[in-house]
Amino acid sequence: MQKILILDYGSQYSELIARRVREFHVFSEVVSHQITLDEIKLHDPIGIILSGGPNSVYGVDAPRLPECILDLNIPILGVCYGMQLLVHTLGGTVADTGKGEYGKAHIKLLESCPILDGVPDDSVMWMSHGDSVTRLPDGFKSIVETEITKNAAIANESKQIYGVQFHPEVVHSQYGNQMLENFIVNICKADCSFTVSNFIDEQVVKIRETVGDKNVLLGLSGGVDSSVLAFLLHKAIGDQLTCMIVDHGFMRKDEVSKLMKIFVEKFAIKVVAVDAKEKFITKLKGVSDPETKRKTIGELFIRTFEKESAKLGEFDFLAQGTLYPDVIESCDPNIDSANASEVAHKIKSHHNVGGLPKDLKFKLIEPFRKLFKDEVRAVGRYLEVPEEIVTRHPFPGPGLAIRVIGALDSDRVATLSEADDILLQELKTSGHYDNTWQALCVLLADVKSVGVMGDMRTYESPLVLRLVSSEDGMTADWSRLPYDFLARVSNRIVNEVKGINRVVYDITSKPPATIEWE
């Protein structure tokens, strides 16, 4: 099977590059920049992409380019830091010119080049760099410039080495996909034969080999990831799978009963529901720090699994629907040294990544840890998972606990649950649900707002509506929904949910914000 290898230098977008490659039906894998020649040969790639990263190539401890890469005689594409690293390694110069470039930039094409086929002059690319290439290595030419950056893209066509200072992999780069297609299909000569069915077949074989005759426990939350994983595992090992729903009290309204109807009654998948609400809220009552919330929930979640699973029999494996955005934002190099970067910056711990205890008694199975949400949806549709599950919005493992900003208690969670349910009702009734990537309510529990109801003064909590549009969750923009829809949601929440007297709308993109508030 043909493969494009992505060397990770710490970019938040490293796996996004891999995802873009897979969109052209070419298998791709992200590996550490410290990979050895023998390891590269095992992968047998048809091309290599060097990711971006937060370092400066002239820094003392900056990650370097393995010398063997340049001797492989296969096409190489350097992106941002990857391009600067190529230049630095091959004898050119990279420097801090004092003119960084961030966000959208219009490019000017200087020369024709295979990697620019179909890319028009004056199109927009996404920049994010402080350093710039000031002198090119021998054999290279500058093929693109911007108003600020003279060497925005470079090429050595005879050696099939290319570099771009911008990020073609992000959606903000208008013709970024065209450039990637030029590199992958035209320059690397990929046959574009990798499909979702290939992935499923490969994972089914891998799961069966890993599990053998042992049993697997899956934490089923009802979200897209764990639900699709339940179908994949059921296909692979049948009744060796037991799904457990741990109701920690932070799930959406009536979530458990809805899930039991779908998985047990409709598809005969073994599911056990555990009511642990009292245990969780007692442990977390009064906790306000978001990292403490996540890690406490993560550890208690696993401990509950261990205790409850012992009542059901022996389980050697714990399955999780971990996705790559979870891994890259948690940025824990101990998670998977082949894929996590030692130089990436941590954003937040995720319930199924950073919150796991070190003495975990289960062996983990995470077939989706290299996939993005839309790819998991594609797997789900191929496995004939109900559309109502496949199209569900993302929902965090810690649930509503991290959407209460402030100290937790059961009343605050109940208040948020009612508001959240109204938002989802209105989204589905209006037809806007499928037009948004994620929709959530955030209760500013420790903030009070003055209001008036029935000629009486109120002093209650504000609620934030957060609705975003995105392709993969790595970047997102706030959804431009009609005013009458927002007014209807606001009116219902203020009138129907006790404890909320003001509704506001979050219009911040990611970055600089994250989608969740905590």
Q: Compute the average pLDDT of residues 271-292.
A: 95
Nearest Cα neighbor of 516 from 461, 438, 462 is 438
Tokens of 209: 């080999």
Whether residue 282 is predicted with pLDDT greater than 50 in this model: the reply is: yes
Q: In whole numbers, what is the pLDDT of the chain averaged over residues? A: 90
Whether residue 208 is predicted with pLDDT greater than 50 in this model: the reply is: yes
Whether residue 284 is predicted with pLDDT greater than 80 in this model: the reply is: yes
Identified catalytic residue from 167, 248, 350, 351 = 167
Q: Cis omega before residue 63 (within 30°)?
A: no
Phi and psi dihedrals of 16, rounded to 5?
Answer: -65, -35
Q: By the 8 A CB rule, do 125 and 105 touch?
A: yes
Is 393 a known active-site residue? no
More confident residue, 60 or 210: 210
Question: Is the model's pTM score more than 0.75?
Answer: no
Is 169 a known active-site residue? yes
Q: How many CB atoms lie within 10 A of CB 345?
A: 11
CA distance 123 to 174: 7
Q: Compute the average pLDDT of residues 281-303.
A: 92
More confident residue, 495 or 11: 495
pLDDT for res 281: 95
Q: For residue 383, count CB atoms less than 10 angstroms from its CB and return exposed for 0-12, middle for 13-18, buried for 19 or more.
A: middle
pLDDT, tens only, 136-168: 999 999 999 999 999 999 999 999 999 999 999
pLDDT for res 345: 45
Q: By the 8 A CB rule, do 27 and 55 touch?
A: no
Tokens of 282: 């007692």
Tokens of 73: 């005689």
State the Cα angle at 103 between 97 and 108, rounded to 5°: 75
CA distance 216 to 309: 10
pLDDT, tens only, 418-450: 999 999 999 999 999 999 999 999 999 999 999
Helix (H, G, I), strand (E, B) or coil at 425: helix
pLDDT, tens only, 355-406: 455 666 778 999 998 787 888 999 999 999 999 999 999 888 899 999 999 9
Q: By the 8 A CB rule, do 246 and 219 touch?
A: yes
Side-chain half-sphere exposure of 11, counting CA atoms within 13 A: 30
pLDDT for res 442: 98
- What CA–CA distances, in Å, run from 294 to 299, 306, 349, 458? 9, 18, 7, 32
**E-only strand ranges, 345-395:** 363-365
Whether residue 117 is predicted with pLDDT greater than 70 in this model: the reply is: yes
Identified catalytic residue from 15, 101, 169, 181 = 169
Whether residue 349 is predicted with pLDDT greater than 60 in this model: the reply is: no
Single-letter amino acid, residue 131: D
Identified catalytic residue from 15, 80, 113, 441 = 80
Q: Compute the average pLDDT of residues 283-287.
A: 95
Nearest Cα neighbor of 295 from 241, 357, 340, 245 is 357
Where does the pLDDT of residue 351 fall: very low under 50, low under 70, confident under 90, or very high at 90 and above? Answer: very low
CA distance 404 to 419: 12
Whether residue 333 is predicted with pLDDT greater than 70 in this model: the reply is: no
Nearest Cα neighbor of 469 from 482, 460, 478 is 478
Q: By the 8 A CB rule, do 294 and 356 touch?
A: no
pLDDT, tens only, 65-93: 988 899 999 999 999 999 999 999 999 99
Tokens of 100: 């960084």
pLDDT for res 171: 85
- What CA–CA distances, in Å, run from 445 to 246, 310, 495? 25, 37, 18
Side-chain half-sphere exposure of 501, counting CA atoms within 13 A: 15
Q: By the 8 A CB rule, do 223 and 395 touch?
A: yes
Q: How many CB atoms lie within 10 A of CB 139?
A: 13
Is 147 a known active-site residue? no
Q: By the 8 A CB rule, do 394 and 438 touch?
A: yes
pLDDT for res 332: 45
Q: By the 8 A CB rule, do 167 and 126 touch?
A: yes
Phi and psi dihedrals of 254, rounded to 5?
Answer: 60, 25
Nearest Cα neighbor of 506 from 414, 440, 430 is 440
List residues bridging with 464 in a β-sheet.
442, 504
Phi and psi dihedrals of 267, rounded to 5?
Answer: -120, 5
